Amino acid sequence: MDKVLMEFTEKVNSSIYKHTFVKLILSKRVLENQEMNKIVVKYVELKNEPNLQFVYKYDRQDATKNFTAEEGIKQLQSMIGNNFLDNYLYTTKEDWELKYNNKREPKIYKQKPTFSEAADGSHDEQKKRLLSTKNNAYLKSLGITDQKGEIIPSMSAKYKQVEKFVEIIDSLSGNLEGCNPVKIADMGCGKGYLTFATYDYLTNVKELKVDMKGVETQENLVKFCQNTAQKAQFGRLEFVQSNISDYKADSLDMLIALHACDTATDDALYLGINAKAKVIVVAPCCHKQIRQQMTIKESNVLEPALKYGILMERQAEILTDSLRALILNKYGYKTKIFEFVEYDNTAKNLIITAELGEMPSEEQQKKIQAQIDDIKNRFGIKYHYLEKLIENPADQSWRILNAQCEK
């Protein structure tokens, strides 16, 4: 065992018995089986003895196994440097990062502590509510809760959207472990319903250090949101006035764009791809760009069905978002498309999530591009806005400016 690994695991062991341990994350997995991409290690007490709980993060589900502190340290020593190259230890005194380069040479880094409270070790701890409505300044300012912190009946549908969105963010938050701070941009944030909820949840429940910007074109909404952030004492949440297409960000960990009209969603997706965001979440609407190009040949098996205008509109939505997902796949993102909330709550209820993985091989990229081209050929589509934007970002002559729909 190398001296650096020995030093790192000794810091883990020491933090457990000094009650400063918060959590440990093993990431950048190097084995062939890529389904399990990271391990989160937590502290739990079982029969009044210190234990380490290993949470194995798979693509579709998690698995959990408990070890005594001594056994857990041995597990770490066998995996760090062999199976996982980026490793983060969070304690209340300092944070430690152990990284291995391509030659498997280790280097350890010390940083200021992210968390001020150690894990309490309670194995039967009740699950925290995703958001608290009591004494919640932003929910009150947004008109969702009353003076007592109760949900106003007429705003129950909006609050349900907020809750559901936070559940989605929770399911994706594992991608943000190790980011310090987590850099997030919410494009076309409107009144900030979901911006505030995302910041609140990641900061106060997940206990991550978050730097977040809400981007909005309307000056009055920017001022309103900035004032609300100050009331809520959200010191690392800032709102700026800008079009999505004009906003610049060299690097991001998460990009959000909800209900940005038509190709404004593509501008946001391009920003996320270009900034190599680990997580992208968009809720598209107003699918005009593809619809205006679509023509159905008589040889197309769907021609009899798509002679009806309403079905043609819905097909345009399906094609637009399917192409977006394929383009994201081409640039290394694993995508999901699903309903946000019930249709009765909002008609704009489709969500696309994208998690950054490994870049596909050249052969895989060609296969994805062939699928994109086949869809376009079948429906007479000359180009997809996002695809063209990626191919030629310097040429803005063909760009279409779009506002954001009201949140």
Per-residue burial over 158-178, b if 16 or more Cβ lie within 10 Å, else e, is bbebbebbbebbeebbbbbbb
Q: Are 17 and 50 in contact (CB under 8 A)?
A: yes
Place of tokens 């593509």: 266
For 217-349, strand residue ranges (E) read 237-241, 254-261, 279-285, 333-339
| 209 pLDDT higher than 60 | yes
Say which range, 6-15, 265-274, 298-307, 358-367, has the weakest mean pLDDT.
298-307
| 338 pLDDT higher than 70 | yes
- Tell me what pLDDT residue 250 has: 84
3-class state of residue 154 by DSSP: helix
C-alpha span between 32 and 64 (Å, rounded): 21
C-alpha span between 267 and 246 (Å, rounded): 9
Encode pLDDT of 350-373 as tens digits: 899 999 999 999 999 999 999 999
Task: Give this prediction's pTM.
Answer: 0.66
